[in-house]
Amino acid sequence: MSLIQWIDFQSLGDKRGQLVAIDIGKEREVPFDIKRIYYIYHTAEDVSRGFHAHKKLKQVAICISGSCRMVLDDGCTRESIVMNSPAKGLLIESMIWREMRDFSDDCVLLVLASERYDESDYIRNYADFIKAKR
Give the range of 4-12, 15-23, 36-44, 80-88 binding ligand T46 by CB under 6 A.
Answer: 36-44
DSSP 75-101: SS-EEEEEE--TTEEEEE-TT-EEEEE
Task: Write down the catalytic residue from 49, 52, 101, 133.
Answer: 52
The answer to whether 42 is a known catalytic residue is no
What is the Cα–Cα distance from 95 to 110, expressed in whole angstroms? 20
Q: Looking at 18, 33, 38, 82, which residue binds ligand T46 (CB under 6 A)?
A: 38
SS3 content of the chain, % helix, strand, coil (to 5): 10, 45, 50
Q: Which stretch binds ligand T46 (CB under 6 A): 4-12, 33-41, 73-81, 83-91?
A: 33-41
Find the binding residues for ligand T46 in span 64-123 (CB under 6 A).
98, 111, 117
With binding defined as CB under 6 A, does residue 49 bind ligand T46? yes
Q: What whole-number distance in Å separates Cα of residue 90 and Cα of residue 76? A: 19
Residue type, 94: S
State which residue, 19 or 47, has the beta carbon closest to ligand T46. 47
What are the residues whose beta carbons fall under 8 Å from the beta carbon of 112, sequence distance 6 or more?
A: 22, 30, 34, 36, 37, 59, 60, 61, 62, 89
- 39 binds ligand T46, rule: CB under 6 A: no
Does position 58 interact with ligand T46 (CB under 6 A)? The reply is no
Binding site for ligand T46 (CB under 6 A): 36, 38, 40, 49-50, 59, 61, 98, 111, 117
Question: Catalytic residues, which ones?
Answer: 52
